[in-house]
Amino acid sequence: MPSIHSTAIISSEAAIAPDVTVGAYAIIGPQVSIGSGTVIGPHTRIEGPCEIGERNQFYGHISVGGPPQDLKYKGEKTAITIGNDNIFREFVTLNRGTAGGGGMTTIASNNFFMAYSHVAHDCHVGSDTVFANNATLAGHVEVGDFSTIGALSAVHQFCRVGEHAFIGGATIATMDVLPYVKTVGSRPAKTYGINTIGLERKGFSGETIEALQRAYRILIRSKLRLQDALDRIESELTLYPEARYFAEFVRASQRGIIR
């Protein structure tokens, strides 16, 4: 049986799994679906269209599916989807997409959002990420799997954060953030090598980490032209899929990369 507090307000047009817990003064609007085992904490507001998977935890005072904070938004029908096993701490804000940005904000699974972190419209967040307190994404940002965004950090609109990236606290990222790399600082942010300790903790082999270190040195330290550096990485480190992804990430950049 569901555990729904008497003060909660739930739309008759919402679809809630039988074992969902809803806390005091929570508001769940129409066109919202919530999967099994999810806990909605007190004073949380969820607006639709919004699809939430299973076993998510919303601790309280959280805004999910609010309209995009974009002056071009005129009430178009847009949505947000959230996967499974995510943790959202107090005062997190997650906005729906915009028509001009594809109409959808997506958050995958196994993510940890600390208090006051923010995901803006049309962002796409992968799985197994960590957003520390007040970590903020502007609109249209892509965040790769296993990345960490430090406290009080902000990522500029249309930027990408690569897989296993580590963004240090109070960083302002106005260009793409390299995968596997430690990026720290404010205007300008800078890279500080491969996140060796973090990758070791995640089970990366010494050989793979060494290959990524070589790729980083070729890209950042060799003084080669960008195209020549990428060609060299792909030529010398072709056996390592992580190194190939590293080079492909740079090639696909529209805003440039933080070095």
Residues with a known catalytic role: 121-122, 139
Assess contact for 103 and 97: CB atoms under 8 A.
Answer: yes
| Rounded Cα distance, 80 and 52, in Å | 8
| Rounded Cα distance, 165 and 232, in Å | 22
CA dihedral 184, 111, 199, 214 (to 10 degrees): -60
C-alpha triplet 142, 66, 98: angle, nearest 5°: 50
| Rounded Cα distance, 87 and 153, in Å | 19
Assess contact for 155 and 173: CB atoms under 8 A.
Answer: yes
Q: Return the closest-CA partner of residue 168 out of 180, 155, 147, 184.
A: 184
Contacts of 26 (CB under 8 A, 6+ apart): 5, 8, 9, 10, 40, 41, 42, 43, 44, 45, 46
| Rounded Cα distance, 10 and 16, in Å | 9
Q: Return the closest-CA partner of residue 189 out of 197, 181, 198.
A: 181
